[in-house]
Structure 1
Amino acid sequence: MNRQTIKHSCNPCKYLEDISQLKRVDYFQFFCLPQQYNVDLNELNQHYKQYQKFIHPDKFSLAADQLQENSTELSSFANNAYFTLINDLQRAIYLLKLKGVNVMSEDEQTFDMEFIEIIFSIRMDVDQCENIDELKEIHSEVKTELDVKLTSLKQLFEQKNYDDAKAEVERVVFLEKVINEIQEKEMSLKM
């Protein structure tokens, strides 16, 4: 496979000569994907692997200093783009940012008090739980709720309802934090 096998408009090698072009490209454009929440992950993986074959800094170890620097910067950009788009939550946050909606701003957070009370209750249950089986049951329930929220998020993006998508992203953030806490508790109970 050579440079010509990648679609011309998606060829990451064009950035090696002029790295400043990256400032005008979003992560979706970089991987030649439509700017939408529902991403074809197989296509993303395929582009990422192809790109890394051509732009990985090891390929430029004997090249001129500027080309080495550009390769490192381009590879870093590709990694950041890939790991943002492959993750449902990070992709949602990034897409909202592109749409002018700032999710993580403390000034603009929309707190759903009923949801926060539920999260607080779950955290209390996790904290007090001393039985691994009960903890696994809580984990399963929270994971199911997370899946429901991610499905809802997909629908909200399809409807271009970015305000509600922002609120749903905030709920997903809370649920992912709870899942991390549950996993930590599971580890401590296994010891």
Structure 2
Amino acid sequence: MRFGPKSVARARALWSCDRAKCACTLCLATYTSQTTPLSSSSSSSSWDFLEWARSGNLLQGDEEDAVTASLPSYFHVFGVDPREFRIDLGELESRYKTLQKHLHPDKLGAKGGEELRDAGERFSAHVNEAYGTLRRPLLRANYMLEQRGVGTEEGSTMADLDFLQQVMEIRERLEGEVSGEELEELEKEINAKIEELVDEIGRLIQDDDTLLSAKELTEKLKYFENIKNEILRQK
């Protein structure tokens, strides 16, 4: 069965919203076991950065904009290779906890007083944002693409109509009467599609010549993540 233009447009509207920014259980349930180690050279850069943060280098001016401008990329925060898509989430979490421990207001206040403590709070928020982005494959891919000059604007149009047809068919299944067994089977199907996309994005995003292809697959990943979340909501 084929769907007309109105149905395709409806699929875009319902399934392309960026729910991956959500920190709820549903949105964090995907990919938790899909990891590879951080690069062997990354450990020293993350700890060097930690020392930089604790030594007061955040205070580069009286204006908050000056402090914000001094903040490094999310990759530098955790010592992650900016071209390596698949990372060790366990190691990422460990580094996150270490950073936050050393950025505790009491420690910074004892070292540099209220001024350093306040700047550290702004940096701590940056660390939180970096961690939240790097631990989610969709947000990580979007960030990597943006850092490489490939925009991932909200509301961009999916040009692959065959793919949208597939999304509509899955949506029709979810809107009907679906048994628990059928949901389990559909979840396995979606997980397989997600894993395939993650693998392909990880390969394409490393090469400047294939960034546009990586962007297209990242858009598809967003659709499937939203479908995954809907399946989990119904279970």
Does the 8 Å CA contact 1:57/1:75 hold for their aligned counterparts? Answer: no
Residue 152 of structure 2 aligns with which residue?
A: 103
- The offset of 1:61, in angstroms, is 6.2
- The offset of 1:120, in angstroms, is 0.7
- The offset of 1:77, in angstroms, is 0.7
Residue 126 of structure 1 aligns with which residue?
A: 174
Q: Kindly tell me: are residues 132 and 40 of structure 1, through their superposed partners in 2, closer, same or farther at Cα, counting changes over 3 Å? A: closer
Residue 73 of structure 2 aligns with which residue?
A: 26
Does the 8 Å CA contact 1:84/1:94 hold for their aligned counterparts? Answer: yes
Does the 8 Å CA contact 2:58/2:120 hold for their aligned counterparts? Answer: no
Mapped to 2, the partners of 1:144 and 1:163 lie a distance apart of: 23
Mapped to 2, the partners of 1:60 and 1:21 lie a distance apart of: 16
Residue 132 of structure 2 aligns with which residue?
A: 83
Please give the secondary structure, in 2, of the residue aligned with 1:154.
Answer: helix
* Equivalent in 138, 141, 150 of residue 92 of structure 1: 141
Please give the secondary structure, in 1, of the residue aligned with 2:205.
Answer: helix
Does the 8 Å CA contact 1:57/1:72 hold for their aligned counterparts? Answer: yes
Mapped to 1, the partners of 2:184 and 2:201 lie a distance apart of: 25
Residue 66 of structure 1 aligns with which residue?
A: 115
Amino acid at match of 2:79: C
Following TM superposition, the consecutive aligned residue runs of length 4 or more in structure 1 with deviations greater than 6 angstroms are none
Q: TM-score, normalised by structure 1?
A: 0.83
Stretch moving more, 136-145 or 48-57: 48-57
CA-to-aligned-CA distance 1:93-125 (integer Å, 9 cap, x gap): 00001011111343x544211111101100110
Residue 101 of structure 2 aligns with which residue?
A: 53
CA RMSD of aligned residues (A): 2.3
Residue 3 of structure 1 aligns with which residue?
A: none
Matched, 1:137 2:185: yes
Mapped to 1, the partners of 2:227 and 2:56 lie a distance apart of: 40
Q: TM-score, normalised by structure 2?
A: 0.68
- The offset of 1:154, in angstroms, is 0.7
Residue 35 of structure 1 aligns with which residue?
A: 82
Gaps (5+ residues) in structure 1? 1-5, 187-191
Residue 150 of structure 1 aligns with which residue?
A: 198
- Higher normalized contact order (CA 8 Å, seq sep 6+, divided by chain length): 2
Please give the secondary structure, in 2, of the residue aligned with 1:147.
Answer: helix
CA-to-aligned-CA distance 1:130-159 (integer Å, 9 cap, x gap): 311111111110111111111111111133
Matched, 1:166 2:215: yes
Residue 5 of structure 2 aligns with which residue?
A: none
Stretch moving more, 42-51 or 7-16: 7-16
Q: Kindly tell me: are residues 101 and 110 of structure 1, through their superposed partners in 2, closer, same or farther at Cα, counting changes over 3 Å? A: farther
Amino acid at match of 1:153: I
Number of paired residues?
Answer: 180
Percent of aligned pairs with the same amino acid: 25
Residue 14 of structure 1 aligns with which residue?
A: 55
Which structure: greater helix fraction? 1
